[in-house]
């Protein structure tokens, strides 16, 4: 399926022939993509398909080899600071300074974005409460569990109220209750006009949460659309996202194996 057209005023993320090579390896191969403002967009693919590399280009951590990308109306190469002002980013393995408390870490993040101290403290308090970290906010990060660090990283990404949120495996390490809180939070943010772009290996989450998904395989974007659009492209009316994903990225053998294991 091709690029979904949308007027520039409603486009939050757009790429044109976005490419990244590492030596002779083409990790991302000429991606064309449009993501609308207020959309929850799932970015799916097997391990090593190019998901994280694409996200890192979009948030300005690595430069594209060729092609262009614009986020919130700004070119990620020509105006990287303006892009970073308007985005929040949660990496697959979020980092926080371990000798700071959770509260101190969010205060530091607020300072980085130039957020008023009082406003940052009020937002941090709300986020600690929402993400069920209020009892841990004055403890050192070095004592946080994997799930607690994940939630702290999400709080840091949200503190300056970004227009566009990039999340790499946002529910990784979370227990079912915390994962549900995060999913509900992301849907509410989208309802308020924020754009959510996230990668996940949990296809059930993508199917239940996303307005549209993009599937990348071996660096190439092989499908983009709603679940109904993906089904139509595959000539089916009731296939799950998992079935479509396996068909597009693993071939019929993978689908047969999944069916066998599900019996």
SS3 string, the chain, reads: CCCCCCCHHHEEEEEEEEEEEECCEEEEEEEEEEEECCCEEEEECCCCCCHHHHHHHHCCCCCCCEEEEEECCEECCCCHHHHHHHEEEECCCCCCCCCCEHHHHHHHHHHHCCCCHHHHHHHHHHHHHHCCCCCCCCCEHHHCCHHHHHHHHHHHHHCCCCCEEEEECCCCCCCHHHHHHHHHHHHHHHHCCCEEEEECCCHHHHHHHCCEEEEEECCEEEEEECHHHHHHHHCCCCCCHHHHHHHHHCHHHHHHHHHHHHC
Residue-range domain boundaries for the chain? 8-225, 226-263
The number of CA neighbours under 13 Å toward the Cβ of 149 is 18
The number of CA neighbours under 13 Å toward the Cβ of 38 is 6
From the candidate CATH numbers 3.10.20.90, 3.90.1860.10, 3.30.70.20, 3.40.50.300, the one assigned to the domain spanning 8-225: 3.40.50.300
26-35, pLDDT tens digit by residue?
A: 999 999 999 9
pLDDT score at 173: 84
122-126 contacts: CB < 8 A, separation 24 or more?
123/158, 123/159, 123/161, 124/155, 124/159
pLDDT score at 261: 55
CB 16 within 8 A of CB 41: no
| Measured distance CA(241)–CA(243) in Å, rounded | 5
Phi–psi pair at 43, nearest 5 degrees: -115, 110
CB 232 within 8 A of CB 4: no
pLDDT score at 250: 76
Strands 195-199 and 40-44: parallel
Assigned token pair, 201: 């290996």
Residue spans of the chain under pLDDT 70? 1-9, 251-263
């Amino acid at each position: 399926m091709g690029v979904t057209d949308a007027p520039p005023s409603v486009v939050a993320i757009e790429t044109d022939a976005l490419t990244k090579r590492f030596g002779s390896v083409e990790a991302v191969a000429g991606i064309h993509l449009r993501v609308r403002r207020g959309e929850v967009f799932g970015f799916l693919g097997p391990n090593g398909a190019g998901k994280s590399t694409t996200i890192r280009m979009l948030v300005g951590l690595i430069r594209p080899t060729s092609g262009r990308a614009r986020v919130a109306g700004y070119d990620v190469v020509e105006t990287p600071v303006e892009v970073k002002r308007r985005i929040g980013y949660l990496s697959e393995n979020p980092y926080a300074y371990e000798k700071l408390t959770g509260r101190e870490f969010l205060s530091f993040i607020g300072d980085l974005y130039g957020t008023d101290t009082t406003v940052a403290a009020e937002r941090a308090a709300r986020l600690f409460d929402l993400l069920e970290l209020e009892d841990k906010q004055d403890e050192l990060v070095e004592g946080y569990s994997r799930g607690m660090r994940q939630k702290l990283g999400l709080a840091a990404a949200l503190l300056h109220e970004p227009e566009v949120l990039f999340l790499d495996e946002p529910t990784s390490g979370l227990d079912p209750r915390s994962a549900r809180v995060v999913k509900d939070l992301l849907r509410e943010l989208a309802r308020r006009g924020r754009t959510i772009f996230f990668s996940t290996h949990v296809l059930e989450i993508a199917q239940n949460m996303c307005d549209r998904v993009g599937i990348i395989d071996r660096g190439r974007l092989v499908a983009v659309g709603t679940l109904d659009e993906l089904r139509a492209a595959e000539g089916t009316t009731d296939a799950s996202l998992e079935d479509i994903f396996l068909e597009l990225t693993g071939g019929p053998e993978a689908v047969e194996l999944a069916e066998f294991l599900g019996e």
